[in-house]
Chain A
């Protein structure tokens, strides 16, 4: 049913522009895999290469161990869900779902039965006779999924399919997509720029930036142990303080920043004397209690209360904005705006990563 997708050193060029640079990736069969990155990072290009609408300038794509370089999109075991869904407006819901089967010469009665089964699977029973234009955004979403699943693909490719929905619906569809994937058991490759979507749904995530895959791993690994400065700042909120590494000892690095020396775990491949950034998550920072040695001086700007958390916005030396997220119990004694509010953190919660320029 499901198949591995392997990208081997895939480079895609459009004229002089390199959209994807030497991407090597092994997506396991039956996995919910997300490609996460800002718009223009090459993730859609990569997806179109897997589906066959683009051909890699270099490298190869294998699906289920089979080389895809000579196989056209209509012959690949993949199905693509478009960002705008691309449902056929002149066909009914059932005809849309049955289109792939019609192409394969399946009889009309069988097509209708299959369409009904799939509509039940995507929780949209008895809607087959409707026109696409009669459905709501969320319902169209489900029809697009059913249409793609109808051809029994080994790999389902999803190009930001939730981006057109409102927030509430988007969150519900996340769970539903995940549930559908578990039920059908095929490989899902999901494209998104929304890290929340990627973290909640995926078995594994590849974070992309400027055509390069920066890190591949499960959500927790990506969040807690980012390997590059880009991943650290793109996935989740983060406070980054840039400077130069002044000491590197026992897996800990201290860097000299405009906000003073800060120490944290030494990340992947950092060296003394190198330009680097220390990343401290907002939830890892807290206000220093009286008598505690402050690690980071800051001045409170404003506070926003969001129920379970309180976000405190501060300004460090050199007007550096700092965000601190406090749990309910820590949020009791927040100083007034403008007051000095020194901060502390656990050293293991700071992560020192080489600055992007130092990598290049």
Chain B
């Protein structure tokens, strides 16, 4: 960044992007011919249009593309003292990826089971939590979208949203209070005489899984609610009139219709659970294996940013591949989700 040319290029880039977009709209308008729907610039006015494009371009570039590219680049480098960076030893290498697999950058005889297990367990548990989330949210979203009266709907929405005004980490601590050995749940169960000694919910990961399930509930409910809400009520009644029992209607009429909503909700929740950090750090027990704290440790305990980057990219790519595969199986396209 100290290089004035680099900084100039950095700040000019968004402007270049804006110019490119502007040219694109021009091209589109020429293609569509006169009298076609108005272009982006024409609809918003030149000042606002430029602002929007620059702001979005700046944001996308500096917050998303640039850091990600840096990470990709980092992940293929060795950890070197600053003095040797850029020197002859600073070559592109797969060492950081080999470390994930074998637990060493040189000896490839035994696998790095701790990290690999944690990785797959994270993916597996994320899948289970996503499914649990769907199971919790679908009935609720259906109720809100098709059954509830407006007054009840407003109350429900408020009840759902208000807890999320509290910070994610504080919410995780609330679960700690709820599930701890001296916590509310144990106190109640002992008080009722259900158990004699407190159960270690934290050690058994119950607290973590419950916390993770709760953390991204809203991101499942709202896409589901939106999708189900646009379903014509008559279709549900028509199916019922034709003799369908309730489960058949949900499976064959409501869910296929709500598929884009289901897909986007599940994608969001899965990605965020697999990548969540606060809940595993706060609610994880001593034996908990979750991948993101390991990535975190690479960065801030081992101070090996290169290795951390490699780990983060492994997680990111696996999650993307997994989501793509599931979408392929359920025949949902990306454009449907973003609709």
- Mark A residues whose CB is within 8 Å of B: 51-53, 72-75, 78-80, 82-84, 86-90, 99-100, 102-104, 147-148, 150-151
Contact = CB atoms under 8 A, between A and B. Distances in A.
Contacts of A72: 240
Contacts of B73: none
Interface of B: 232, 234-235, 237-245, 248, 252-253, 256-257
Contact of B240 (A74, A84, A102, A150): A74
Contacts, number: 61
Contacts of B244: 74, 99-100, 103
A73 B241 contact: yes
A224 B248 CA distance: 50
Contact of B237 (A73, A88, A103, A151): A73
What 7 pairs across the A-B complex have the smallest Cβ distances? A86-B234, A100-B242, A86-B238, A103-B244, A80-B241, A82-B234, A74-B243
Given A74-B244, A100-B243, A103-B244, A90 B256 contact: yes
Contacts of B235: 86, 88
Contacts of A84: 232, 234
A147 B257 CA distance: 19
A99 B234 contact: no
B243 A103 contact: yes
Contact of B232 (A80, A86, A99): A86
A152 B161 CA distance: 48
A104 B256 CA distance: 20
A187 to B, nearest CB: 16
A108 to B, nearest CB: 14
A75 B257 CA distance: 25
16 contacts: A52-B241, A53-B241, A72-B240, A74-B241, A75-B243, A78-B241, A80-B241, A82-B238, A83-B234, A84-B234, A86-B232, A99-B252, A100-B243, A103-B243, A104-B243, A150-B242
B102 to A, nearest CB: 49
A288 to B, nearest CB: 55
Contacts of A147: 242
Nearest to A83: B234
Contacts of A151: 242-243
Given A72-B240, A103-B242, A147-B242, 11 more contacts: A53-B237, A53-B241, A73-B240, A74-B241, A74-B243, A75-B243, A82-B237, A90-B256, A99-B239, A99-B252, A151-B242
Contacts of A100: 242-244
B241 A88 contact: no
A128 B246 CA distance: 26
Contacts of B242: 74, 79, 99-100, 103, 147-148, 150-151
Contacts of A78: 241
Contacts of B239: 88, 99, 103
A88 B244 CA distance: 14
Of B238, B240, B253, B257, which is in contact with the most chain A CB atoms at under 10 Å from its CB? B238
B240 A90 contact: no
Nearest to B233: A86
A71 B232 CA distance: 24
A104 B232 CA distance: 23
A102 B244 CA distance: 9
A242 to B, nearest CB: 42
A51 B257 contact: no
A358 B285 CA distance: 83
A103 B247 CA distance: 11
Contacts of B232: 84, 86
A75 B234 CA distance: 17
Given A90-B256, A90-B257, A103-B248, A51 B241 contact: yes
A79 B241 contact: yes
A99 B253 CA distance: 10
A193 to B, nearest CB: 19
